[in-house]
């Protein structure tokens, strides 16, 4: 029997990458799902996921989990995030960003820096935020953006978020502005900002609400995520850099223990504690490097990530176990 023919145009499957995280610098124009699809090929496995969606317009940090590291993503998603963005005052759009249709245009020449600073201050700290109607939030089992595309009017409920920082860097006029490219007599204003916020915050909605508070409308024209938890842009790799990885070498990842150390408080375990946790048992109350409301990474004496722990008073319970018993 002759051997089956090999298609010379078919790319060979890459060796499977080890369990870990890859921090990707997502380019504009791709969805987060597009990046996951590319990473499945590069990592040689379908067990790939991401922590926190970025809109196609947005760029920057997208945390990708491979293999067992996908189990970490549920907890990474809840970490604080940092963005640099440009808010354009003087126009509202259907999507609260530059990809939507313009619904109103206003002259911002009378808007002062002090008024902008006051509007930003009012949107800093704990706030109730109404997400954009074209968000991925489900309404009766269907994504809000899908309902909007079908012509429905969608009004989402406000949610509690915290804006830890909302810094204004530069305010500059944009003469003769119209989002459809036509000339106008008015003047728009671009505001460059840095935002540090809790999970679930929509920076597009901050742009919308700042413009609304100033009476001129607003939307987002640029968004770049620079940090998710402890994963920063300076360790991110572009898709072009990842594509250039040798075909016969497993993709380099941030190993599980290092990935956990980057964004969770750490508890160094004794040998007995590591053994107990590997069986899913509770141990004495957590002693982490820093107090935290969320999970604590439990690291064995040999440097292995054993589990994520949740402090429950006098005991610490494993909520996710990695090390086999």
Q: What are residue 36's DSSP bridge partners?
A: none
The token pair that represents 38 in the structure block: 């590319």
Among 164, 151, 240, 156, smallest CA distance to 197 is for 164
Select which of 19, 55, 96, 209 is catalytic. 55
Instruction: From 112, 108, 92, select the one nearest 100 (Cα to Cα).
Output: 92
Q: Nearest to residue 143, comparing CAs of 53, 82, 47, 48?
A: 53
Query: What distance in Å separates the CA atoms of residue 212 and residue 206, rounded to the nearest whole number?
Result: 10
- Helix or strand (DSSP H, E) at 75: helix 73-76
Q: Round to whole Å and give the CA distance between 8 and 239.
A: 25
Token pair 């926190």 is found at 52
What DSSP designation does 236 have? -
Strand partners, 177: none
Determine the Cα angle at 252 with ends 57 and 24, to 5°.
Answer: 10
48-51 and 305-312 as β-strands: parallel, antiparallel, unpaired?
Answer: unpaired
- Cβ atoms 109, 216 nearer than 8 A: no
Annotated active-site residue 97? The verdict is no
How far from the centroid of its chain's Cα atoms is residue 206's Cα? 16
Contact between 89 and 108 under an 8 Å Cβ cutoff? The reply is yes
Catalytic residues: 55
């Amino acid at each position: 029997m002759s051997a089956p023919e090999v298609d010379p145009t078919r790319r060979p499957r890459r060796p499977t990458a080890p369990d870990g995280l890859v921090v990707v610098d997502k380019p504009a124009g791709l969805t987060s799902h597009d990046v996951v699809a590319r990473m499945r090929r590069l990592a040689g496995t379908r067990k790939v996921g991401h922590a926190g969606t970025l809109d196609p317009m947005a760029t920057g940090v997208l945390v990708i989990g491979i293999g067992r590291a996908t189990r970490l993503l549920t907890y990474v998603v809840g970490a604080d995030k940092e963005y640099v963005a440009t808010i354009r005052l003087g126009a509202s759009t259907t999507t609260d960003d530059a990809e939507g249709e313009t619904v109103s245009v206003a002259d911002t020449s009378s808007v002062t820096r002090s008024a902008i600073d006051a509007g930003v201050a009012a949107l800093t700290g704990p706030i109730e935020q109404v997400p954009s109607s074209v968000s991925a939030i489900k309404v009766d089992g269907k994504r809000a953006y899908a309902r909007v595309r079908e012509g429905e009017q969608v009004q989402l409920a406000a949610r509690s978020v915290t804006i830890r920082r909302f810094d204004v860097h530069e305010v500059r006029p944009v003469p003769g502005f119209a989002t459809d490219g036509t000339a106008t007599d008015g003047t728009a204003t671009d505001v460059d900002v840095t935002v540090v916020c809790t999970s679930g915050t929509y920076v597009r909605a901050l742009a919308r609400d700042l413009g609304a508070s100033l009476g001129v409308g607003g939307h987002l024209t640029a968004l770049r995520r620079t940090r998710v938890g402890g994963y920063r842009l300076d360790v991110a790799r572009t898709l072009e850099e990842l594509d250039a990885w040798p075909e016969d070498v497993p993709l380099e990842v941030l190993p599980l223990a290092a990935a956990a150390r980057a964004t969770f408080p750490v508890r160094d375990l004794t040998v007995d504690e590591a053994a107990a946790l590997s069986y899913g048992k509770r141990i004495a109350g957590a002693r982490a490097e820093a107090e935290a409301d969320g999970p604590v990474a439990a690291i064995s004496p040999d440097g292995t990530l054993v589990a994520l722990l949740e402090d429950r008073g006098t005991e610490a319970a494993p909520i996710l176990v990695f090390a086999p018993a």
